[in-house]
A = this chain, B = another copy of it.
Amino acid sequence: MSHESRGDIAPSVEETAADIASMEIRGAATIADAAAAALAEQATFSTAETPEAFRVELEAAARELYETRPTAVSLPNALRYVLRGMGGETVDQRRRSIIRRAETFRRDLEQAQETLGRVGANRLRDGDTVMTHCHSTDALACVEAAVSDGKHIEAIVKETRPRQQGHITASDLRELGVPVTLVVDNAARRYLDDTDHVLVGADSIAADGSVINKIGTSGLAVNARERGVPMMVAAQSIKLHPDTMTGHTVEIEMRDEREVLEDGSYSEITGDDSRGDDGFIVENPAFDVTPPRHVDAIVTEHGQYPPESIVMLMRDLFGETTSDPWE
């Protein structure tokens, strides 16, 4: 099948794989959407002559897509979700089932953040104060939905060193009309007394209910539990980390020390700008892991879940991981 014959409707698997690999396509949702579209495209123009050949072709396509970014959480989730929908006993039935499944996935994905936001908003009551850490559009969607329901919400925003994404969060919340108090991360425990909910997003969520998120989340969660403040994590289901179902741990990225030292404060404070080879080491891990016992609810577009049962949602949506065509 030549590329031209497809009428330029959608990029092929090859094109999509290339774009993911080159980072032209990036961001969890965008990658997931493109991967599902590519599988639908493959199904649409498949020339397989037997149902089994069709399956083999689709699985090969999935494998090709998967291998472009094996660490992207949303990619295998999209692929698994679509392939699991393959049904029927003829090529045509299978083709139609794949196309329909991909459409469902993409439509759900498009609405996921808004749906999730409405779920999260339902946990917030008029007059509540939330404390945020880092910047998460999923978390912000919850506040936005609450505000649009007419609830008055206030926010205590941790600046979130080293990259101070709290400033972005503060700015976004201000645009929603939410009164914001910005505090340094060290001040979090003190302000937990004025907080009704800790509200964070997630980089990914593991099958054991652990939440992988921006460094500092786990320490905040321990203090929230000690102070009796509930901790809520907003995360679309594409953030559910497939490899963790088989026990894999999530590798924590170590980032550049310049993020920590960038503001030149060292030499200003110490009057010493000779820091060199004999100086101290800077370690700058990007994320940490919050165990499920310190989290009260994970809010997804499929409703809220205690972290201990999120593995069942992972299985419902994406199946067991041992049957992956790329394994």
Contact = CB atoms under 8 A, between A and B. Distances in A.
Interface string A63-107: 000000000000000000000000000000000000000000000
A163 B187 CA distance: 13
A200 to B, nearest CB: 12
A324 interface: no
B181 A162 contact: no
Interface stretch (A2-10, A28-36, A47-55, A306-314): A306-314
Quickly give the copy total for this chain: 6
Nearest to A181: B281
Contact of A280 (B157, B209, B299): B157
A182 B226 contact: no
A247 B308 contact: no
Interface in A284-318: 284-285, 288, 291-293, 296-297, 299, 302-309, 311-312
Interface string A195-230: 000000000000111000011101100110011101
A23 interface: no
A167 B207 contact: no
A247 to B, nearest CB: 3
For chain A, the bracket of interface size reads 35 or more
A304 B216 contact: no
Interface string A171-200: 101100001111111111111010000000
A265 B164 contact: yes
A122 B249 contact: yes
A187 B283 contact: yes
Contacts of A186: 160-162, 185, 214-216, 219
Given A265-B164, A309-B309, A304 B222 contact: no
A218 to B, nearest CB: 5
Contacts of A215: 184, 186-187, 190
Contact of A162 (B184, B226, B284, B285): B184
**A-B CB proximity, top 8 nearest:** A186-B216, A122-B247, A180-B280, A189-B219, A308-B308, A263-B263, A306-B308, A119-B247
Interface of A: 115, 118-123, 125, 157, 159-165, 167-168, 170-171, 173-174, 179-191, 193, 207-209, 214-216, 218-219, 222-223, 226-228, 230, 243-249, 260, 263-266, 269-270, 272, 278-285, 288, 291-293, 296-297, 299, 302-309, 311-312, 320-322
25 contacts: A121-B247, A161-B186, A180-B280, A180-B281, A183-B283, A186-B214, A186-B215, A187-B215, A187-B216, A189-B219, A191-B283, A222-B226, A223-B223, A228-B228, A245-B303, A245-B304, A247-B297, A247-B303, A247-B304, A303-B311, A303-B321, A306-B311, A307-B308, A309-B311, A309-B312
